[in-house]
Amino acid sequence: MIKSGSFSFSSAKPGVYLMALALMLSLVIAGAEKHARAETQDHNQEKIEFTILHTNDEHSALLPHSPAIDHDPQNEDDPTLGGFARLATAIEDIKEAKEDKNEPVLLFNAGDFMGGAAFGWLAPAGYSAEISLMQKMGYDAAVIGNHEYDYGPEVLGKYLLDAGYPEAHQKTNMLASNIQPPGEYLLERESLYQDQALFELDNGITVGAFGLIGKDAKEVTWDTGDIEFLDPVKTGERMVKELENSGAEVIVAITHSGISEDKELARKVDGIDVIIGGHCHTALHEPVQENNTVIVQADSLVKYLGKLELSYCPETSELKVRNQDRGTDFLVPIDSSLDPHPEIEKEVDRYTKRLNHLISDMTGGEFDDIMGTVARSDFPLSHQPPLEESTAGNFITDAMRLVTEEVTGEKVDVAIQANGSIRENIQPGTMEHSRNEISFYDITEVIGLGYGEDGYAGYPIVSTYLTGEELRRALEVAVLLKESMGDTYFLQFSGLRYDFNPADATLFTVPFLDLPLPTTRAVKNAEIFTGDGVQPAVNDSTSGEENQASKSFVSLEKDDQDLYHLVTDAYILSFLPMAGEMIPWLEITPRDKEGNPVDPEDFQELVVHNPQGRELKVWETVVKYASSQPTGEDEVPRMDDYYRETSGRINPVSGFPLAGWGALLILLLAAGVGYLVIRKKRKATANTTTYWQV
């Protein structure tokens, strides 16, 4: 018997059995054919492989560094990082390995190849060290970042002319898609930059590239003259369309914008396959993915070479990252494991000799070797943590105040410097040949930015006078910048100390304008140092020494109309009047020693000059101050122990915020009004006779 719902082959008729067997065989054959077709289709969708190498934010760091004085090419334990000669070797090794596999390689730079280390000082002197070396290393394209404008657009134009542009676009395309210089500028007149570039690779794929400078990068440029900067997103949309129309299959945006702006660009502009980024100095060990766009960045100062391995399918237009499948790192360390490339090393040596001649000229022969020891220290002077007083900040502002005082013969009350200009730690050597030594090169890499009207690199020191009330306002601005603008704008001070409550920086932000409304009550206490030399450190003890130190400070009161002598650099001075333009009650007016206001167009009159008649540079004051530290038994200056720690100049304090008092008052008023309303209703109810009470 066969139970309902069951089936037995033994009970089936032979014809049914054969039909079932035939059906099963046909299904197996069909599945095999489908699998074969899928394999054939996948094979036909050939994936074309290529690699993009990239760097960003070299900042003229031609030599291995951190610190450079440690570099010893004969020592396999050399701890230094970077260096153009090592980078060249890494690039060459990868290109040769890829060439064996017939895999094309593109090499891109995302801007700020200039500005930072002292080699950047060669640009105003007529040498194009960075880009000339990049051409020799085989860079296919580079973008103009904010520090390329450190010496102004005309020096940049001459720099590119000296490097062989516009003909040199055939070697290294110089991209700047969202700038519009006036027609008379060298950049425009001589076609020294391009909007886009097309690369037809040997394997048949066409890669299109364009270059952008971001909004934040544009805001921190030193001198862009009358160049107009176009919106990066709108420019990106236009570039993608133009490159697609030109036949580009893969589109790369090379940007000097920072990751947050890169992500915004990827979200708002479809069609960008890869963003090679820079500006924020981030080591992306894994790409950021945004709207099908791959975003990469390789830190700064040639610490890494970025390596992005890709495959492209022409049939589906699919771009795939291969690094994870191959187990390949996205960042290749540039360290002592790499032998220096002989040709590039020879070129770097040539530029080093030129730089030595230049600094001898700039310092009147006082210094003539970038690797010469200026001072010794058994501790570093740190520029960290962010948004706080730092030992490097104290040393640099003390140098500005005390050396300017010595040069001018006039007492200087206060010096100001911004963290954005303090690039690194002042780091002594750690190797046997360099232990505790601080070189000229390592100091100037920390504080060597800027340019002056004398034609030499470095921000010039400016000397001006503010009232006590305006100094208080400057401190309020410092607190406001700390809370709203980030570490770049955080100010370090010499010659004063102050307490502030960060919670009292603003009451609220004005909607639509994105403008913070300051309380001007964030600074709780401010004092000016009235003594000579370095201001005493503040500590938690109540020793007689501290009490004596306190006597050398006097309170800086609101409405104080006395004049105080302030030094800063020309860049920061240009920003001081802007606070009053945005918020009138924070107006700050730079003055001469007689108290007469100085028009911003006449700020050059406030520049301090050194004994040789040249502008006194910020880096110059720091080098001189380091070389004037107390000498040891070997007659070499040694860093004063005072700078081992911070000295209590910038002191955050806590307390109930002013905005909180305002909110509490509003709540109390609301509660009072509510109570009166409820009481009135109850009284009305009590005096009313209802229907059911009758």
Q: How confident is the model at residue 446 (pLDDT cuts 50, 70, 90)?
A: very high
Task: Please report, for the chain, how many H helices and E strands are present, in that order.
Answer: 17, 27
Task: Please provide the CATH number assigned to the domain covering 390-652.
Answer: 3.90.780.10
Please give the pLDDT value at position 465: 98
CB atoms closer than 10 angstroms to residue 154: 13
Beta bridge partners of 471: none
**Band of the pLDDT at 512, cuts 50, 70, 90?**
low
Mean pLDDT over the full length of the chain: 89
Q: Per-domain residue ranges for the chain?
A: 48-344, 390-652
How would CATH label the architecture of 48-344?
4-Layer Sandwich (3.60)
239 contacts 258 by C-beta, under 8 angstroms: no
Q: What is the pLDDT of residue 300?
A: 98
295-351 tens-digit pLDDT: 999 999 999 999 999 999 999 999 999 999 999 999 999 999 999 999 999 999 999
Q: Is the pLDDT of residue 357 over 60?
A: yes
Side chain identity, residue 505: A
Q: How confident is the model at residue 510 (pLDDT cuts 50, 70, 90)?
A: low
Angle at 489 (CA atoms; ends 213, 589), nearest 5 degrees: 110
Question: Average pLDDT for residues 63-79, to the nearest whole number?
Answer: 95
Q: Is the pTM of this model over 0.95?
A: no
Check pLDDT > 70 for residue 601.
yes
pLDDT at 632 over 90: no
The more confidently predicted of residues 94 and 36 is 94
pLDDT of residue 678: 58
Residue 581 has a pLDDT of 81
DSSP secondary structure letter of residue 489: G
Instruction: Answer positive or negative: Cα dihedral of 81, 86, 89, 95.
Output: positive
- Spatial distance between the Cα atoms of 495 and 246, rounded to a whole number of angstroms: 60
pLDDT for residue 694 is more than 50: no
pLDDT digits 0-9 by tens, 210-254? 999 999 999 999 899 999 999 999 999 999 999 999 999 999 999
Question: Which one, of 412, 464, 453, 371, lies nearest residue 118 by Cα?
Answer: 371
Res 617: pLDDT? 98
- Return the minimum-mean-pLDDT range out of 184-193, 268-277, 505-514, 682-691: 682-691
**At residue 508, what are phi and psi to the nearest 5 degrees?**
-170, 175
pLDDT at 32: 47
| pLDDT at 662 (0 to 100) | 46
Q: 48-344 with 390-652: one CATH topology?
A: no
Query: What is the pLDDT, as a whole number, of residue 506?
Result: 78
pLDDT in tens, 10-62: 334 444 444 444 445 454 444 444 444 444 344 446 899 999 999 999 999 99
pLDDT score of 633: 85
pLDDT at 683: 58
- Tell which residue, 129, 138, 149, has the closest CA to residue 108: 138
Terminal alpha carbon distance of the chain: 91
What's the average model confidence in pLDDT over 403-421? 97
Least reliable range by pLDDT among 25-39, 314-328, 388-402, 416-430: 25-39
Where does the pLDDT of residue 549 fall: very low under 50, low under 70, confident under 90, or very high at 90 and above? low
Q: Give kind and range of the element (H or E) at residue 297.
A: none
CA distances from 692 to 437, 540, 688 (A): 99, 75, 12
Taking residues 358-387, report their average pLDDT.
96
Give the model's pLDDT for residue 243.
98
